[in-house]
Amino acid sequence: MVDARALDEVVRFTSELIRIDTTNHGGGDGNEREAAEYAAGKLAEVGVEARILEKAPNRSNVVARIEGEDPEADALLVHGHLDVVPAEAADWSVHPFSGEIRDGMLWGRGAIDMKSMNAMVLATVRAWARAGVRPRRPIVVAFTADEEASAEYGAGYLAEAHAELFAGCTEGVSESGGFTFHGGNGLRLYPIAAGERGTAWLRLSASGTAGHGSKANPDNAVGKLAAAVARIGAHEWPLRLTPTVRAALTELAEVYGVEPDLDDVDGLLAKLGPAAQLVESTLRNSANPTVLRAGYKVNVIPEHAYAEVDGRVLPGGEAEFEATMEALCGPDVQWEYQHRTQPLAAPVDSPAFAAMRAAVRKFDPEGHPVPFCMSGGTDAKQFAQLGITGYGFSPLGQTAELGYGRLAHGVDERVPVEGLHFGVRVLDDFLRNA
């Protein structure tokens, strides 16, 4: 249904959005206002009314609603975040906020994560308006702030303060799914996210007796903390197969023509080649120490020491995670949640998931859409508070030499122009027919 103009627009919109620096530095330091005005303006040009909503100045969100052919049908939420992670220009082959097109590639921070998806949504909605068509079910479009931090100013704020705008939405789609994953031997996989591990960012603290660095001191806060951090870093978490991961392993085994032996997961992964990457980080809970802070002078034993840990939790794994952290920290180190979001799981046998599969196969009949669970998280966690089941589906064609996971948040982030064309065709087909 998308026309030639939409194919041109998805490329131009992606480039222009990249040129708007929406770097999220964390701690409330971000500015999405210009990008929000850009998106709202593109919708307004075709008669779609959009609201810009802010919890704090310049932390801007956009929400719009497109009515469907069946007004009684459940609504579908399509959301994408406007902010991006930082990028050091000196490290890149092109300036990260140039939106440059070179050798068939569109370069820049957000080319994958996720200004391309935002551009696809805008181009699709505008194409519908020009053609006078409507999707089958109502569509709520949301462009959010602050996803790359805590979502406090973005989806979290929208879910808490403006829940009425999402009334009737039963399912939502957003980033990290529907992209081409090259699985070796010419196999093209299209992982569609039907789950996310929960976020459990922790702050650890230890206290001791301050003193001179030359004196014996068995009550050393740094030593206590370091021992706990070492235990956490070395811990081997037990295998836990969630329904989504079971479905992923089973379908991947079928694609690769091997026995889906879930009693020998390590052996199965060895037979899946590159596709093992899609599941290996979601087989267990995890906790990775990332930050250490203590002391101010080499000959002074500090009274306090602190650490931060990036924990991720499988659906159903919260109790195990907390009990494990208690045991690993021990009596001398206290831990608390610095930021916490729930794990998510979505059915892979739903009509919406079937529609995503069908849209991918329509434009790549030899491709293999498969379910998977995201190792990290998205704004779907915030919208889940409103009872919205979240999927990761931001379709994008990728060449074999480009890795989605490697380039998202990485240096020289870029997407093929033809991949954007593929993505907008797939997204249009899914949104009209879901």
| CATH code for position 150 | 3.40.630.10
Domain match, 79 and 16 both:
yes
Query: CA-CA distances (angstroms) from residue 277 to 182, 191, 270, 273, 310?
Result: 11, 11, 11, 8, 20
Domain match, 54 and 128 both:
yes
Domain membership of residue 310 as a residue range: 198-340
Residue 147 covered by a domain: yes
Domain match, 209 and 169 both:
no
Domain match, 32 and 159 both:
yes
**In one letter, which amino acid is 382?**
Q
Domain match, 101 and 236 both:
no
pLDDT for residue 71: 82
Domain match, 16 and 150 both:
yes
Q: Are 428 and 124 in contact (CB under 8 A)?
A: yes
**pLDDT digit string, tens, across residues 322-374:** 999 999 999 999 999 999 999 999 999 999 999 999 999 999 999 999 999 99
| CATH code for position 311 | 3.30.70.360
Q: Are 128 and 1 in contact (CB under 8 A)?
A: yes
Distance CA 280, CA 261 (A): 15
pLDDT for residue 408: 84
Domain match, 31 and 168 both:
yes
Q: What is the DSSP string of 217-238?
A: -S--HHHHHHHHHHHHHH--PP
Instruction: Give the 3-state secondary structure percentages of the chain, helix then strand then coil, rounded to 5.
Output: 35, 25, 40
Residue 351 covered by a domain: no
Phi then psi for 104, rounded to 5 degrees?
80, 5
pLDDT for residue 434: 93
The number of distinct structural domains making up the chain is 2
pLDDT for residue 247: 98
Q: Give the containing element (helix H, strand E) for 51.
A: strand 50-54
Domain match, 275 and 409 both:
no
Q: What is residue 134's three-state secondary structure?
A: coil
Residue 354 covered by a domain: no
Residue 368 covered by a domain: no
Residue 121 covered by a domain: yes
Give me the residues of the chain with pLDDT under 50, please: none
HSE (side-chain half, CA atoms, 13 Å) at 399: 9
Residue 85, Ramachandran bin (φ over 0: left; ψ between -120 and 50: alpha; else beta) = beta
Domain match, 319 and 392 both:
no
Domain final position from 340, 370, 400 = 340
Domain final position from 310, 340, 370 = 340
Query: CA-CA distances (angstroms) from residue 419 to 179, 395, 402, 425?
Result: 9, 9, 11, 10
Residue 365 covered by a domain: no
Q: What is residue 55's three-state secondary structure?
A: coil
Query: CA-CA distances (angstroms) from residue 208 to 202, 223, 332, 345?
Result: 20, 9, 9, 42
Q: Report which of 169, 188, 171, 168 is spatially closest to residue 180, judged by C-alpha positions.
A: 188
Query: CA-CA distances (angstroms) from residue 248 to 167, 186, 259, 260, 342?
Result: 31, 19, 13, 10, 21
**pLDDT digit string, tens, across residues 250-259:** 999 999 999 9
pLDDT for residue 169: 98
Domain match, 324 and 392 both:
no
pLDDT for residue 145: 98
Residues in the chain: 434
Domain match, 135 and 231 both:
no
Residue 122 covered by a domain: yes
Token pair listed for 296: 């101010």
pLDDT for residue 376: 87
Q: Report which of 177, 152, 173, 151 is spatially closest to residue 80, judged by C-alpha positions.
A: 173
pLDDT for residue 40: 98
Question: Judging by beta carbons within 10 Å of its beta carbon (0-12, 13-18, 19+), is residue 259 exposed, middle or buried?
Answer: exposed
Domain final position from 319, 340, 361 = 340
Angle among Cα 37, 89, 100 to the nearest 5 degrees reads 60
Domain match, 167 and 233 both:
no
Residue 188 covered by a domain: no
